[in-house]
Amino acid sequence: MEELIPCLARDLRAALDAELAPLGITMQQGALIMRIAQGEDSPGQLAGLVGTDTAGMTRLIDRLVGKELVRRSPRPGDRRAVVVELTEAGRELHPLVPPAFARVAARLLGGFSPAEERAADDLLRRMIENLHGAGACTGG
């Protein structure tokens, strides 16, 4: 198991990056776009949801700002805070992102029965909860 986890993590990231490359984004950028589209707008909250620290989130947002997919704006009522929101280009790109993740998930689960897929989902959620606590991963 200790050898399989890093292998799966590496290969899954590579597969997602390859699937998203035609869209001009990486796996982490795609995950961020999906979270913003779901209504998350705080850089601090987004960092935890996509698995990076605040410095990494700043770089990630900077890259998406550079691609004109997101923008930072002052939070209404609190000018010290910012919100991150999709631009028009980001909103146009967003519908293409979840299907890319779904295609990789379909490859990952190829040959699994529906019962095996449910069991894998349950096991993965339990593993995440073991690391981060209940409710840590609300996606999918």
Q: Check which CATH number belongs to the domain holding 65 and give it.
A: 1.10.10.10
Would 120 be classed as within a structural domain? no
Would 133 be classed as within a structural domain? no
pTM for the whole thing? 0.86
Would 123 be classed as within a structural domain? no
Burial of 80 (0-12, 13-18, 19+ CB in 10 A): exposed
Condensed to tens digits (0 to 9), the pLDDT of residues 11-39 reads 999 999 999 999 999 999 999 999 999 98
Would 132 be classed as within a structural domain? no
Condensed to tens digits (0 to 9), the pLDDT of residues 61-110 reads 999 999 999 999 988 888 888 899 999 999 999 999 999 999 999 999 99
Would 139 be classed as within a structural domain? no
Report the domain count for the chain.
1
Domain that holds residue 69: 4-108
Exposure on the CB side of residue 61, measured as CA atoms within 13 A:
24
**CA pair distance 122, 126, nearest whole angstrom:** 6
